[in-house]
């Protein structure tokens, strides 16, 4: 069976494809060719193009519960079709979570797809974090400096616990679901 080989003519110009998307990330290329993305507040994201891995590492001093951020990020990459679900695992160091992606793809560049999905995830998380910080600020302000329509002068309204009919209705513990100094 004969093999056909086609050579491109030097005189013909290759068609350049239009830019389909751009990403804006804080990316640093390491000495071994890995891409270090440091846009997230709690985790660093490392894309290893030669090995076909995406690794998340907690930032120093980021606090507790970093695993939830890492898990959400890796699941976002899985839902975006970047990583293989079977490859998600803990890394060789404590606190590292990694997943593999296919480096042999003729249709698209896997690193570009990974960068696009990383930016998409970081934009989504930035909005959620802003809402969470605003909520925390507002709930603290509500206790320390409430609105005028939610306050009364001292002695204007008696506390419900002091009224005799309320005392007979209280059953069990007066405080349930307490946490972080707030009564729920």
The 10s digit of each residue's pLDDT in 27-38 is: 888 899 999 998
167 lies in a domain? no
**Dihedral through CA 136, CA 96, CA 99, CA 83, nearest 10?**
20
pLDDT average, residue stretch 85-105: 84
110 lies in a domain? yes
- Per-residue pLDDT tens over the stretch 147-157: 777 777 765 66
d(CA 3, CA 161): 92
Query: What is the domain extent for residue 105?
Result: 27-142
4 lies in a domain? no
Residue 178 pLDDT exceeds 80: no
pTM of the model: 0.63
169 lies in a domain? no
Q: Are 95 and 58 in contact (CB under 8 A)?
A: yes
58 lies in a domain? yes
Judging by beta carbons within 10 Å of its beta carbon (0-12, 13-18, 19+), is residue 38 exposed, middle or buried?
A: middle
Q: What is the CATH number of the domain that holds 92?
A: 3.30.428
DSSP 44-106: EEEEETTTTEEEEEEPTT--S-HHHHHHHHHHHHHHTT-S-GGG-EE-SSTT-EEEE-----S
181 lies in a domain? no
161 lies in a domain? no
Mean of the per-residue pLDDT values of the chain: 77
Domain count of the chain?
1
Q: Are 54 and 77 in contact (CB under 8 A)?
A: yes
Percentages of the chain per state (helix, strand, coil), in multiples of 5: 35, 15, 50
pLDDT average, residue stretch 109-136: 85
% of the chain beyond a pLDDT of 70:
73
């Amino acid at each position: 069976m004969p093999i056909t080989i086609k050579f491109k003519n030097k005189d013909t110009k290759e068609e350049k494809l239009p830019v389909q998307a751009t990403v804006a990330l804080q990316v640093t290329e390491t000495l071994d060719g890995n891409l270090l993305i440091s846009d997230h507040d709690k985790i660093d994201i490392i894309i290893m193009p030669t090995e076909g891995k995406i690794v998340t590492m907690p930032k120093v001093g980021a606090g507790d519960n970093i695993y939830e951020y890492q898990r959400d990020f890796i699941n976002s990459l899985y839902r975006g079709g970047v990583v293989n679900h079977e490859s998600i695992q803990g890394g060789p160091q404590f606190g590292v979570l990694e997943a593999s992606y296919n480096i042999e793809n003729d249709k698209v560049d896997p690193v570009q797809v990974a960068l696009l999905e990383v930016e998409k995830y970081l934009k989504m998380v930035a909005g959620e974090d802003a809402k969470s910080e605003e909520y925390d600020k507002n709930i603290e302000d509500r206790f320390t400096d409430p609105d005028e329509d939610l306050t009364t002068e001292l002695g204007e309204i008696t506390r419900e616990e002091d009224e005799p009919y309320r005392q007979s209705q209280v059953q069990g513990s007066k405080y349930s679901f307490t946490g972080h100094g707030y009564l729920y």
